[in-house]
Amino acid sequence: MKKIALIGMPNTGKSTLLNRLTGAHAKVGNWPGLTVSFLSARLLVGDQMAQLVDLPGIYDLKGYSEDEKVVTTYLETQKPDLILFMMNASQVDRQLNLLSQVSNKGIPVVMVMNMADEASALGITIKANLLSQKLGLPVCLLSAKYGQGTEKLQQLMREGLKSAPLKALTPHEVEDAFKTSVMVPAQASHLLTERIDKVLLHPWMGLPIFFAVMLLLFEGVFAIGKPLQDGMSWLFTSLRKEALEPLVSGLPAILQGLLLDGLYNGISTVASFVPLIILFFLFLGVVEDTGYLSRAAFLMDSLMSKFGMDGRSFVMLLMGFGCNVPALLGTRVIRSKGLRYLTMLSIPFSLCSARLQVFVLFIAAMFTTEQAPWVLFSLYLVSIAMAMLTSLIFKNQYINIDAFVLEIPPYRLPTWRQMVLKGWQEVRHFLVRTTRFIMLGVLLIWVLTHFPQDAASGSLETWAGQLSQWMSPLLKPLGINEQLTIALVFGFVAKEVVIGALAVIYGHEGQALIDAIVHNIDWISAYSFMLFALIYTPCVSTIATIRNETKNWAFTALSVVWPLCIAWLVSFTFYQVAMMVRLHG
């Protein structure tokens, strides 16, 4: 199979083009350094199948960062049949040296000048045929975002797979070719972007505006998503009563309990929160793809430096709101080992989508619709505060020796196609993890809460009850009861299991589960539980990623023990102070 490599600087649209050409759900974002490992998909080019590989965005083939090593190693060991060299057509000057380096690899090259629509809006004129003639390689003007120019690119790819290797180009030859072929007006600038940035990047107002935007995002998620979530709960409850219970009525009672109270209750309760998860990532995707999150990294850089990190670290923390694992992988763009370790130690505090499901359940149960966004917002603030506290404590042990460089793109309107792909990608990831972890988790929990057979289901005499009694002295001072204790134990495997575990433990689903939670705990215990679930030991996948990325067992152990200790301390402090205030209030 032919191999085609996508190479270019960060923020040139490589992943967007991969999605456009192949329909693959590669991660697309409007900040640099997002693609940190191989993303590939098959593509029919003419009459032959090819593998299109999206390599990390780099600035230099002679650099020493992890991303640059990934690219150079791939070119040396895999020997692709064609390189698609991606350029941002509106910012060509800083990309010329990399093109010269790529030309020295002895591989056919097609130059893709992406974002041609933005270049045209800035008054930039690109004479593609003249540029192609001077460089001795095919040139394609393209807008991967809107699909303009993809047919031409397909043709050039077919021809490129049959063409001879590109002759080596010196930096001087590349610069001369662009000087005569690309005309940039003296006043070319993104005027709208500059005007907006005067407000959003204001030294004093920038950060308050950012947090206000995030609060509005949460408001929108709950205002629209709560009725949808209630509808899903009603649907699953009706399906059980009207269809499933009659269907399994002839089976032995223990098997009915396993299928209905165990498997179905666990899975359906988790699935009922899918609308909220979709909305959260759709709204966050809008903020991300407009280019605003890059501004957030810029705004946070000065503050982050006081804690031993920089704006890149904040970007990775934001990525961790989706899932901690890709955020940890994203730290490969950080050259300084000390900064990378410090960032990796902080990322697991990010409120990931798995934890979000748990918090949405408890917030819906214990708080009003008006209170809910503020409660969730407070958990995000605690999440960031814990990451900052961790970096402050460990910054002298893991020292940053690397300068911060960040590309800030112009503001862009996201397309519906991008939003749908982004939402589906997150939901698909959620469903895959559901299948992998939650089914096994809820089945195991059902066994623990129903055996030995002579014990009453969910009682202290069951195996789960015995385990909760053993851990009770540790978690009771936090207001966490036996049922919540068992859920936390299984949450160590995957945080998604927590909701399914509660459905099995309480023997209810949907609204009935929410009512059961309200009946057993108050809002202080619920918030204490959420604080602990937010901060304590990361899931198995996160721990495995830290171990694989660092090859350091001592650091991996630290990443497990430190969050567990600080989680207990924070939850204990909150619960005891809140109860004291209630008692004397």
- 468 — pLDDT class (breaks 50, 70, 90): confident
Same domain, 126 and 267: no
Same domain, 368 and 464: yes
Task: Enter the tokens of residue 379.
Answer: 């958990």
Same domain, 240 and 105: no
- For 177-199, write each residue's pLDDT tens digit: 999 899 988 655 567 778 888 88
What is the pLDDT at residue 201? 86
Same domain, 281 and 318: yes
Last residue of a domain, one of 151, 183, 215: 183
Same domain, 251 and 172: no
Whether 193 is covered by a domain: the verdict is no
**H/E segment holding residue 572:** helix 553-584
pTM over 0.85: no
Whether 309 is covered by a domain: the verdict is yes
Q: What are phi and psi of 204, to 5 degrees?
A: -100, -35
Whether 197 is covered by a domain: the verdict is no
- For 358-384, write each residue's pLDDT tens digit: 898 899 889 988 899 999 999 999 999
| Domain count for the chain | 2
CA dihedral 427, 433, 435, 440 (to 10 degrees): -150
Per the structure, the complete domain to which residue 71 belongs is given by 2-183
What is the pLDDT at residue 154? 93
- Lowest-confidence pick of 99-108, 143-152, 326-335: 326-335
SS3 51: strand
Same domain, 342 and 276: yes
For the segment 306-329, the average pLDDT, to the nearest whole number, is 80
Whether 490 is covered by a domain: the verdict is yes
| Sign, Cα dihedral of 248, 249, 252, 254 | positive
Same domain, 118 and 236: no
Whether 289 is covered by a domain: the verdict is yes
Same domain, 157 and 261: no
Whether 474 is covered by a domain: the verdict is yes
Same domain, 455 and 518: yes
What is the pLDDT at residue 109? 95
Same domain, 223 and 286: yes
Same domain, 403 and 467: yes
Same domain, 338 and 463: yes
Whether 194 is covered by a domain: the verdict is no
Whether 458 is covered by a domain: the verdict is yes
Domain of 47, CATH number, reads: 3.40.50.300
DSSP state string for 331-387 = GGG---HHHHHHHHHHGGGS--HHHHHHHHHHHHHHS-TTTHHHHHHHHHHHHHHHH
In one-letter notation, the amino acid at residue 278 is I
What is the pLDDT at residue 302? 81
- For 521-553, write each residue's pLDDT tens digit: 999 999 999 999 999 988 877 888 888 788 899
